[in-house]
Amino acid sequence: MIHENSSTDTGDGSSEGVEDLKAANAKDLHQAVREEGESELDRPIRSLFFSGFAGGMAITSSLVAEGALHEGLPDTPWRELVVSLGYPIGFLVVILGRMQLFTESTITAMLPLFTKPSAWALKRTLRLWAVVLFANLLGTAVTGGAIAGGVLAPGLREAMVDISMGITELSPWATFVNAIPAGFMIAIVAWALPNAREQGFLVIFAITYAVAIGGFSHSIVGSDEAFLLMFAGHTGVVRTFGELLLPAILGNLLGGAGVFALLAHAQVRGEMKDD
């Protein structure tokens, strides 16, 4: 939030007012995201579950959009750049629809814990993650099974399988490392949205498109792909959970709840103490 009276006229051309404005903006963002996290921590398990389940099902629209573009475009060097335009669709549906997404909750749940560490905050944070992650995975498992079972047209389904096979090319360690930037970047979405106002659509689209063209591993979109491959007979249960899903989940957690949330809190921690 920009306050018109935040700037101080020093009369000597200094940038003191500009620096104060930047600090206030960072604190405002921290407060907005923290309060969002506090409201999520207070939500009943039932509400979190159904919101997360809906989010898991809705995120499938990313893979559907990518599959449709993949099916309709010729096999050229630039096809993947265009196909990746479908990747943000699921995030737009989930985030603008106010559904729960595990990777977005990594920062919102951590800021209250960083600000006022307590056993209660830790317990509620772990509860939030467990419920939302389980619900997201259940939602993507349902849609993955339905697609493998023949819900969509054969051509579109095969295109989605072709896209999904990309996650099998990485080792578990490579998937973990590859998931760290994805967790970091999706946390940026949650951090930036309170200040985005009417540009929220563009913020979500731009950041998630960067995740797509960068080839980074997102645990929930990746679970959609992993379950589709499993139900279609391309991977087994052990590989799906142990080699495809778990490394991506841990990498997203490190990038979002670890690196970005820590940096986001550290930049205003001293000013909060002063307050």
Provide the CATH number for the domain around residue 250. Answer: 1.20.1080.10
Asked if residue 9 belongs to a domain, the reply is: no
Q: Among 29-33, 56-60, 118-122, 174-178, whose mean pLDDT is lowest?
A: 29-33
* CA–CA separation, 182 and 174 (whole Å): 13
For residue 5, is pLDDT > 60?
no
Neighbouring C-beta atoms of residue 149, cutoff 10 Å? 11
Place of tokens 């935040």: 6
For residue 210, is pLDDT > 60?
yes
For residue 105, is pLDDT > 80?
yes
* CA–CA separation, 121 and 114 (whole Å): 9
Res. 186 pLDDT band, cuts 50 70 90: very high
Res. 9 pLDDT band, cuts 50 70 90: very low
Q: Domain limits at 97?
A: 16-274
Q: Among 142-146, 212-216, 229-233, 262-266, whose mean pLDDT is lowest?
A: 262-266
Asked if residue 220 belongs to a domain, the reply is: yes
For residue 161, is pLDDT > 90?
yes
Q: What is the pLDDT, as a whole number, of residue 45?
A: 95
Show Cβ contacts of residue 55 under 8 Å, excluding neighbours closer than 6 positions: 94, 99, 100, 101, 132, 135, 136, 139, 220
Give the chain's length: 275
Backbone angles phi, psi at 77, to 5 degrees: -60, -25
Q: What is the pLDDT, as a whole number, of residue 261?
A: 86
Asked if residue 6 belongs to a domain, the reply is: no
More confident residue, 11 or 47: 47
If one counts the domains in the chain, the total is: 1
For residue 8, is pLDDT > 80?
no
Res. 183 pLDDT band, cuts 50 70 90: very high
Asked if residue 48 belongs to a domain, the reply is: yes
For residue 36, is pLDDT > 70?
yes
Place of tokens 């949650």: 190
Q: What is the pLDDT, as a whole number, of residue 11?
A: 46
Q: What is the pLDDT, as a whole number, of residue 155?
A: 96
For residue 67, is pLDDT > 70?
yes
Q: What is the pLDDT, as a whole number, of residue 21?
A: 40
State how far Cα 269 lies from the chain centre.
24
Burial class (CB in 10 A: 0-12, 13-18, 19+), 122: exposed
**pLDDT above 90 covers what percent of the chain?**
68
Q: How much is the pTM? A: 0.86
SS3 191: helix
Asked if residue 198 belongs to a domain, the reply is: yes
Q: What is the pLDDT, as a whole number, of residue 10?
A: 45
Res. 273 pLDDT band, cuts 50 70 90: low
Q: What is the pLDDT, as a whole number, of residue 262?
A: 86
Mean pLDDT of the chain: 88
Q: What is the pLDDT, as a whole number, of residue 158?
A: 97
Asked if residue 4 belongs to a domain, the reply is: no
Mean of the pLDDT values across residues 234-247? 97
Q: What is the pLDDT, as a whole number, of residue 191?
A: 87
Asked if residue 10 belongs to a domain, the reply is: no
